């Protein structure tokens, strides 16, 4: 673990789950520190993945799972014709715009998970060949988001290290240095 997730307040399971989701989001955001959009879109490994694509994918996936939990349609509809676009910036999209979008998605996730009556509440999985028939709980969707985001945060670590040799530990230090510099600038 590169960063530490503080222990939840007694009985705050929601807070613990949301903190672990946020920790994994941070891994992907840090992998983008100091990169241009061109660097973030590059594919320096045998994989077709890029940091920009992982960012976009994670934001879209999180939004779509929370929409499912609310039993609403996803903000962006994907099918076989446009699935590839979930892993690449298109049109006017930038890393900055995707970071802002993910911040909005994260706020909605927090608001929704904090508002559901119980983490045991369920919602049906959609009809699709890749989903089993049945329902899953709000707890399950949080755990799924942790797993999904953590998997891609690991991909992001490898891609970033392939780009310029920076490791997750170096990026945490870079992020903390920027935060300290920003705090000092604001205090002046």
Residues of the chain with pLDDT under 50: none
pTM for the predicted model, two decimal places:
0.89
* Residues present in the chain in total: 188
The two tokens of residue 157 are 């670590």
Q: What is the structure's pLDDT at 45? A: 87
**Tens-place pLDDT, residues 89-100:** 999 999 999 999
Coil/strand/helix, residue 134: coil
- DSSP letter for 84, please: G
**Three-class secondary structure of residue 182 per DSSP:** helix
CA distance 162 to 60: 25
Q: Which of 157, 28, 45, 47 is nearest to 98 (CA)?
A: 28
């Amino acid at each position: 673990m590169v960063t530490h997730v503080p222990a939840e307040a007694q009985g705050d399971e929601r807070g613990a789950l949301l903190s672990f989701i946020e920790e994994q989001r941070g891994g992907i955001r840090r992998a983008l520190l100091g990169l241009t959009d061109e660097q973030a879109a590059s594919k320096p490994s045998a994989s077709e993945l890029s940091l920009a694509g992982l960012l976009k994918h994670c934001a879209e996936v999180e939004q779509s799972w929370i929409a499912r939990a609310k039993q609403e349609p996803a903000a962006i509809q994907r099918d076989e014709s446009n699935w590839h676009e979930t892993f690449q910036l298109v049109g006017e999209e930038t890393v900055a715009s995707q970071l802002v979008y993910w911040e909005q998605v994260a706020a909605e996730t927090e608001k929704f998970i904090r508002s559901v009556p119980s983490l045991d509440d369920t919602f049906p999985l959609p009809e699709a060949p890749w989903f089993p028939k049945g329902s899953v709980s709000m707890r399950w969707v949080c755990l799924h988001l942790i797993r999904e985001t953590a998997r891609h945060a690991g991909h992001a670590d490898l891609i970033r290290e392939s780009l310029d040799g920076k490791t997750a530990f170096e990026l945490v230090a870079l992020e903390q240095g920027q935060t300290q510099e920003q705090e000092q600038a604001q205090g002046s």
